[in-house]
Structure 1
Amino acid sequence: MEKRTLKDAEPKERYFSPTLQDSQPEIDEGVRELGKLFPFIISGGSNTERFYFTHINDTTKYKFNIRPKYFNDESNYIEAFKKRIEEILKANSDAKIFCVYDWDTIFPKTGNQEKDAKFREKYNKEIENGVITMCPSMPSIEYWFLLHFVNHTSLLKNYSKVSQLLAPYIKPCFPEQNQKNKLKKLLKAEKHLKNPQWVRILCEKGKLETAIKRAETNIQKAEEKNDLINQSFSYVYKIFNSWQ
């Protein structure tokens, strides 16, 4: 088995803070298995997305190239995306990069919409040929989690709206002693997220496959009617479909 590992991928470093600055540039050479380069995940979420994909990587058949520095502050994620994309592509000509971010940080803000448009224009070629795949969720990745439990398609404009629906379903995925916490604390605090139990339960009994199917089908139906703007959605399913 041919396998190349990330230079800083020691187990003890898996959960160090993603806000730490790199002391010097590193070559982002990705992990391969039998010649296949695992997809790279970069995200605008510093904790929720980081631990979610780390646990997916560790507890399911889906494997990714993940580094803490690939997960950034949502307020400046577009600039961070550019930096990480250039680093990854410089070291891996055959890389597939999935950009995960919350659409509610873009949708209501004209300035961010312009930045998003310029980003897509800059990397239009890479997006068109599948090197880069944009995976926004409206309003946030919590909507992706919700699809594991119910097929809700009505427009949820912000985190507050989706969290009210999600809380009764996802709180039981956490240890009982932690379930008294508010959902935002459970899904943002490292001390709660680093236990893989919540992702394992979230995905079990075919719920992950159900979410993938729901997300893809809902988007296809909405796009056929040119009505995607009027409902919630998540393109996170594309990350998992890349393994098919």
Structure 2
Amino acid sequence: SDILLLDVTPLSLGIETMGGLMDVIIARNSKVPTKAGRQYTTSIDGQVNMKISVYQGERDLVKENRKLAEFDLKGIPAMPAGLPKVDINFMLNADGILTVQAIELRSGVKQEIDVVPSYGLSDDTVEKMLIDSIENAKSDVEQRMLIEARSEGEQLVYNAERFISKNSQILTEEEITETNAHIIALKEALAKGDKDLILKKADELNEFTRPFAERLMDMAVGQAMKGKSIDE
């Protein structure tokens, strides 16, 4: 019988995200040619550049994978964290050339780069990387979960401190004091590096501050409706 051989990617392709984690965009064994993409955003207010680091491999931490390329998406309009929308697209053609494109959707600023993932990659290297990923799977998952918890906790601390500095007028002294106590508790958990404790303290801070955001929203709606009649 006839056998059809299909070209596939020998290793996953992705980018580095917060905490040095590998976010896979094209998975291992994907048929070639192929394309895939994902949307990202900024993590701090006023961020105007985003570094895109491209990696190849199966480990959860990029430092254990093979770095292929790096470039900066510059000229992102300064906006509050989370508002910019950056599409990152991977396009792997039949010749094995990977085009990585980053575009900020609101402004249209764009940057792209071409790399050859197979360059300098031997069968022995691929086999070793696959074996390493299997042998370290358990510890990799544990590290990923800790890093994700830490990133979430750090972002929550940043958001809570920013909220207090910008909206202290809608909070009582007691609310500010208690919020700061929750922030300190979360910072201490982050310093200890205990995943479960970080998640617990993050939940407590989240629950305590959630009514503040609702209060701010109600006030904004009230201001918008002030002076308007029902007929309007």
**TM-score computed with the length of structure 1 as normaliser:** 0.26
Greater relative contact order (Cα < 8 A, sep 6+): 1
> Bigger radius of gyration, 1 or 2?
2
**TM-score computed with the length of structure 2 as normaliser:** 0.27
